[in-house]
């Protein structure tokens, strides 16, 4: 199974290389990517007493792998995780990339067996088909192991509470949010760069699946490229279903001010969005690299603007809206 998956990766890697004439300069050596955290962590549950069935990792775990650099959103490279017990593998049903947190979250198919030791292997970086950074930086082993084990809860563990997530915000709510932060310059009237963000019609006509002007490099202007040879060329302003492939998101994340927790009445309605409490900004070094690689102009909103920078709840709501398909009827 592992070989098959990696073969898929190999094909796309070859295509990417073949279509490459604006690729990175030959002398450029992109910095490595490291895993900085896994959930579960190595050894979780292994010191649980048998008499306590609740102790241990949930039998419906979500495997979360957090990287230190933003990834190139290539879903075919996001399946490179193997979960098994003994020789039996566990099916991975979905892999989700969170661009702000730089995490890959994997959902597993069936419920895991009780009080069983599972082993998780992330693909060997030496094989070359692991996720990579947006500039091509490859994964390298670091302090957090690329293979780890955990023990599941006992048979009689108490049922887990269902967590009901707040609904994904609607297009009109997102347009109202963008009006507060961007509307002075990206309204209907002579919008900066032709980009109207403060109404569903504007989003549909100028942002969703429209190539960002600042990412146009070649002859193919106006045509979004889903598999560009170099990340950041011909990128849509908003790519439905993929915040990590949306130029607008990088214009927000490349700014230096922190994303503060929501403290105003305007964002209170979004405070129940998952993760709304904490949005860790990317490091200055990474933001600099992003600007070197593909993010042109100022971070948005620009520093000279009177409009406030996004708060954490609004940022999470926007990312979730895009990841959910950016539906603007």
Could you give the CA distance from residue 36 to residue 32 in angstroms, rounded to a whole number? 12
Residue 205 near ligand HEC by CB under 6 A = no
Site for ligand HEC in 297-316 (CB under 6 A): 297-298, 300-302, 305, 307, 310
Number of residue whose CB is nearest ligand HEC: 297
Residue 181 near ligand HEC by CB under 6 A = yes
Could you give the CA distance from residue 97 to residue 73 in angstroms, rounded to a whole number? 8
Q: In the stretch 252-271, what mask flags binding to ligand HEC with x, by CB under 6 A?
A: x-------------------
- The residue from 65, 104, 237, 243 that contacts ligand HEC (CB under 6 A) is 237
In total, the chain counts a number of residues equal to 329
CB of 233 to ligand HEC, least distance (A): 12
Nearer to ligand HEC, 129 or 259 (CB): 259
Residue 213 near ligand HEC by CB under 6 A = yes
CB of 20 to ligand HEC, least distance (A): 23
Residue 192 near ligand HEC by CB under 6 A = yes
**Cα separations (Å) of 184 from 56, 85, 196, 301, 307?**
52, 56, 10, 10, 7
Residue 185 near ligand HEC by CB under 6 A = yes
How many other CB atoms sit within 10 Å of the CB of residue 97? Answer: 23
- The residue from 193, 226, 268, 285 that contacts ligand HEC (CB under 6 A) is 193
Residue 195 near ligand HEC by CB under 6 A = yes
- The pair of structure tokens assigned to 40 is 């579960």
Number of residues that bind ligand HEC (CB under 6 A): 25
Asked if residue 40 has a cis previous peptide bond (ω within 30° of 0), the answer is yes
Could you give the CA distance from residue 206 to residue 212 in angstroms, rounded to a whole number? 9
The owner of tokens 């961007």 is 182
> Half-sphere exposure of 284 toward its Cβ, with a 13 Å CA cutoff?
2
From 98-106, 161-169, 187-195, 271-279, span contacting ligand HEC (CB under 6 A):
187-195
Residue 251 near ligand HEC by CB under 6 A = yes
Q: Select from 286, 301, 322 the least CA-distant residue to 31.
A: 286
Q: Select from 313, 321, 323, 319 the least CA-distant residue to 273.
A: 313
Could you give the CA distance from residue 199 to residue 195 in angstroms, rounded to a whole number? 11
Residue 184 near ligand HEC by CB under 6 A = yes
Query: Could you tell me the end-to-end alpha-carbon distance of the chain, in angstroms, rounded to an integer?
Result: 41
Q: Which residues bind ligand HEC (CB under 6 A)?
A: 181-182, 184-186, 192-193, 195, 197, 212-214, 237, 247-248, 251-252, 297-298, 300-302, 305, 307, 310
């Amino acid at each position: 199974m592992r070989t098959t998956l990696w073969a898929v990766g190999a094909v796309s890697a070859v295509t990417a290389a073949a279509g490459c004439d604006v690729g990175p300069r030959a002398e450029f050596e992109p910095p490595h990517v490291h895993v900085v955290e896994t959930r579960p962590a190595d050894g979780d549950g292994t010191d649980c007493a048998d008499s306590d069935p609740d102790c241990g990792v949930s039998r419906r775990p979500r495997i979360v792998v957090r990287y230190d650099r933003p990834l190139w959103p290539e879903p075919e490279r996001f399946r490179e995780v193997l979960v098994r017990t003994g020789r039996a593998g566990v099916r991975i049903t979905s892999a989700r990339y969170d661009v702000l947190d730089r995490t890959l979250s994997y959902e597993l198919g069936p419920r895991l067996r009780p009080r069983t030791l599972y082993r998780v292997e992330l693909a060997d970086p030496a094989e070359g088909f692991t996720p990579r950074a947006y500039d091509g930086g490859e994964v390298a082993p670091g302090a957090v192991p690329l293979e780890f084990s955990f023990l599941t809860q006992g048979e009689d563990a108490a049922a887990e509470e269902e967590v009901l997530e707040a609904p994904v915000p609607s297009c009109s709510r997102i347009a109202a949010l963008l009006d507060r932060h961007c509307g002075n310059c990206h309204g209907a009237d002579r919008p900066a760069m032709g980009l109207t963000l403060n109404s569903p019609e504007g989003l549909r006509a100028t942002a969703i699946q429209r190539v960002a002007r600042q990412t146009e490099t070649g002859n193919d202007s106006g045509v979004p490229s889903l598999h560009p040879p170099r990340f950041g060329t011909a990128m849509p302003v908003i790519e439905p279903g993929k915040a990590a492939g949306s130029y607008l998101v990088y214009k927000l994340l490349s700014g230096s001010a922190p994303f503060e927790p929501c403290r105003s009445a305007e964002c209170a309605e979004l405070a129940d969005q998952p993760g709304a409490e904490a949005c860790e900004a990317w490091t200055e070094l990474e933001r600099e690299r992003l600007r070197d690689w593909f993010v042109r102009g100022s971070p948005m909103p620009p520093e000279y603007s009177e409009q406030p920078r996004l708060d954490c709840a609004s940022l999470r709501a926007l990312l979730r809206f895009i990841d959910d398909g950016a539906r603007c009827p």
